[in-house]
Chains A and B, each alone.
Chain A
Amino acid sequence: MSQRNKVVASFAEAVRDIPDGATIGFGGFAMPGTPFNLIRALAEQGARNLTLVANTTGGAQQPRMPDIALLVENGQVRKVICAFTAATRASDVLPFTKYYEAGEVEAELVPQGTLAERMRAAGAGIPAFYTPTAVGTELAEGRETRVINGREYLLEYALPLDYAFVRAHRADAFGNLRYWRSQRNFNPVMAMAARVTIAEVDEEILPVGAMDPDDVHTPGIFVHRLVKVPPPPEGLWPQKRQERNR
């Protein structure tokens, strides 16, 4: 693959080499920024024993889109690391819950800001950090804390990724990325935390030099493969959320 052209022809080709046991981060917060097409390709590729990092375990939104829940249902997942391992509404049951309660999948529940910062730290060469978040809670039990300037902080470790799957709005062939609105969310920190970042992109991929350097959100040095998302129905795009009946 040329250093100057990271564009690959298909999602299948982009995820072909992902091995069993890989740790993969998925950008996305609700629909925006979620790499639905790469997730669907990974479900078809079939790698197993995966550790998945994302905001939620998926499957909560209508219409259902390919997300972590699909990979869990597919039997491809050993562990998830998420800020939600249950629904925000206690009465809602997620697809993930059945597998988790049966002990078929492990979960590490991490506060959302800590999750983002653990990946930011991994990308920034910081092995661990102290945060005030979760001090005094069940999550801090038995773990290292330290009082600094009179306040107690919890030690959290960096979370490096083997792969990051991200979705961006615009890219050039070198992999410089620009996001649109809340599409950005976890994507930039995941791209920096990963050894290999694979991006699915809304717009036609531009020639190198066509993006203004000041408009780049994720520099191409962090991005390794790019796939243009085809128009629907072949490509998957964010949908308007259907409100569930309460």
Chain B
Amino acid sequence: MSGTKGWNRQQMADRIAREFQDGWIVNLGVGLPTLCSNTDIGGREVIYHSENGVIGYGPIAGPGEEDLNLVNAGGQNVTLKPGAAVVHHADSFAIIRGGRIDATVMGAYEVACNGDFANWKVAGAKGGGIGGAMDLAACARRVFIILEHTTRDGRPRLVARCALPVTARGVVTLAATNLGLFEPAGEAFRVRDLAPGVTLEEVRAATGCPVLA
């Protein structure tokens, strides 16, 4: 699943997590984004929010330590940090829509250089999985995306315009892929970082729109 070149999954998450600033309230999506909580970001303290109303959750509970009535957005049994709080679902999304989330980190199928992204419906599917993604995408102060740079058959996931139904328009702050960290800049992506051993030419060849150094 992981790209053969550049950063592995944890390194992609690490690169995003290093953007987190002290005191931020952060929502981590299911899957790849949860790896951000493993990253050592020095003395900076981040408060993790989960859609089900948990504010201030900590690491995954160890074996035998699980509270079966306490989960994160991915349904994993987590722990609470000192100072944590729990609210109901409507208040949890009031926190989101009210602009209190400093950053949300999500996976995606596609990210476009105009800041659109798609992560809830695949081609040809009748149903979709939106969850909290549309609320978070529309309302978080920063939207960070983690995704492989290309599909399994080599097609770019960083594109000029999304082909799949979008989750929100013009909202992506940064996208981390196995090849580097990229910022939507209108009609092109701007490189913020390249993974070790990756060249700008390789990125351009694997991207569906112009890439600025």
Contacts and interface: CB of A to CB of B under 8 A. Distances in A.
A116 B121 CA distance: 21
A111 B90 contact: no
Given A114-B135, A131-B97, A137-B167, A31 B71 contact: yes
Contact of B89 (A116, A135, A238): A116
Interface stretch (A9-17, A68-76, A182-190): A182-190
A238 B67 CA distance: 10
Contacts of A109: 127-128, 130
A137 B166 contact: yes
Interface string B74-112: 011100100000111110110011000000000000000
B97 A29 contact: no
Given A100-B127, A133-B138, A138-B165, A189 B89 contact: yes
Interface string B107-134: 0000000000000011001111111111
Given A84-B129, A182-B52, A32 B90 contact: no
A112 B130 contact: yes
Nearest to B29: A88
A113 B52 contact: no
A240 to B, nearest CB: 6
A241 B75 contact: yes
A238 B69 contact: yes
Contacts of B138: 132-135
B86 to A, nearest CB: 6
A35 interface: no
B17 interface: no
A67 to B, nearest CB: 13
Contacts of B30: 88
A182 B127 contact: no
Nearest to B52: A29
A139 B121 CA distance: 12
A132 B129 contact: no
Main secondary structure of the interface of A (DSSP, over half): loop
B126 A101 contact: yes
A113 B135 contact: yes
Given A31-B68, A83-B130, A86-B125, A112 B93 contact: yes
Interface in A118-164: 119-120, 131-139
Nearest to B133: A111
A134 B135 CA distance: 7
Contact of B139 (A112, A132, A241): A132
A30 interface: yes
B169 A136 contact: yes
B203 interface: no
Contacts of A239: 68
A132 B96 CA distance: 11
Contacts of A84: 127-131
A26 B70 CA distance: 18
Interface string A51-63: 0000100000100
B139 A32 contact: no
Contacts of A37: none
Contacts of A61: 75
A97 interface: yes
Report which residue of A84, A112, A131 has the largest number of chain B beta carbons within 10 angstroms of its beta carbon.
Answer: A112
Contact of A32 (B70, B80, B132): B70
Interface of B: 30-31, 50-54, 66-71, 75-77, 80, 86-90, 92-93, 96-97, 121-122, 125-135, 138-139, 165-169
Interface of A: 29-33, 55, 61, 83-90, 96-97, 100-101, 107, 109-114, 116-117, 119-120, 131-139, 169, 179-189, 217, 237-241
Given A101-B126, A185-B89, 5 more contacts: A88-B30, A112-B89, A113-B51, A133-B139, A181-B70
10 contacts: A100-B126, A109-B130, A113-B96, A113-B135, A120-B90, A131-B97, A134-B134, A139-B134, A181-B69, A186-B89
